[in-house]
Amino acid sequence: MRIVAEHLTHIYNDGTPFAAKALDDISLTVEEGEFFGIIGHTGSGKSTFVQHLNALIRLPSSKKHFHKKRLKKGEIPPPATVLKVGDFDLTDKNTDFYALRRSVGMVFQYPEYQLFAETVKEDVAFGYKNFYGKGKPSEEEVTTAVRGALEAVGLDYDEIADKSPFDLSGGQKRRVAVAGVIVTKPEVLVLDEPAAGLDPLGKQEMMRLLHEIHGSWCKTVIIVSHDMDEIAENCTHVAVFEEGRVRYVLPPSELFQRAEELLSLGLDIPLTAKLVSALKRRGISVDCDFTTEDFIRKVLALRGGGA
Partner 1 sequence: MTVQELPENAIEMRNVSFSYGQGGFCIQGLNLEVKKGEFLAVLGHNGSGKSTLARLANGILMPDKGEISIFGQVLDDKHLYDLRSRVGVVFQNPDNQTVASVVEDDVAFGAENVGLDREEIGRRIDFALSAVGMQDYRYATVSRLSGGQKQRIAIAGVLALRPDVMILDESTAMLDPKGRREIIDVVSRLNREEGVTVVLITHFVEEALLADRAVVMNRGEIVMRGTPAEIFSRGDELLTYNLTLPRIGIISKRLREGGMSVGDTLDFEKLAEEIARCVS
Comparison of 27 and 204: residue with beta carbon closer to partner 1:
204
- The H or E element that residue 31 is part of is none
Q: Which of 35, 214, 279, 294 binds partner 1 (CB under 8 A)?
A: 279
Distance CA 32, CA 1 (A): 5
Per CB under 8 A, contacts with partner 1 among 188-247 are 196-202, 204, 226, 229
Coil, strand or helix at 259: helix
Residue number, 42 or 138, with CB nearest to partner 1: 42
* Of positions 13, 15, 17, 42, contacts partner 1 by CB under 8 A: 42
Helices (H), ranges, the chain: 46-53, 62-68, 97-103, 120-130, 139-152, 157-160, 170-182, 200-216, 228-234, 252-255, 259-264, 271-281, 292-305
In whole angstroms, what is the distance from residue 191 CA to residue 73 CA?
Answer: 45
* Choice from 65, 219, 258, 274 touching partner 1 (CB under 8 A): 274
The nearer residue to partner 1, 20 or 99, going by C-beta atoms, is 20
Among 33, 60, 133, 170, binds partner 1 (CB under 8 A): 170
Cβ(198)–Cβ(191) under 8 Å? no
Task: Round to whole Å and give the CA distance between 196 and 198.
Answer: 6
Q: Does 257 bind partner 1 (CB under 8 A)?
A: no
- Residue 11 touching partner 1 (CB under 8 A): no
Please identify, among the stretches 72-80, 85-93, 118-126, 167-175, the one whose residues bind partner 1 according to the rule CB under 8 A.
167-175
Name the phi and psi angles at 299, rounded to 5: -65, -40
Asked if residue 151 binds partner 1 (CB under 8 A), the reply is no
- Supply the angle between the helices 271-281 and 292-305 in degrees, to the nearest 10: 30
If one asks whether residue 282 binds partner 1 (CB under 8 A), the answer comes out as yes
Q: Is 169 a binder of partner 1 (CB under 8 A)?
A: yes
For the chain, percent helix, then strand, then coil, each to nearest 5?
Answer: 45, 20, 35
Nearer to partner 1, 73 or 303 (CB): 303
- Distance, in Å, from the CA atom of 70 to the CA atom of 139, rounded to the nearest integer, reads 55
Contact 184, 149 (CB under 8 A): no
Residue 17 as a binder of partner 1 (CB under 8 A): the answer is no
User: Which CB sits closer to partner 1, 2 or 226?
Assistant: 226
Q: Does 268 bind partner 1 (CB under 8 A)?
A: yes
Residues at the interface with partner 1 (CB under 8 A): 41-43, 110, 169-171, 196-202, 204, 226, 229, 266, 268, 271-272, 274-275, 278-279, 281-284, 292, 295-296, 299-300, 302-303, 306
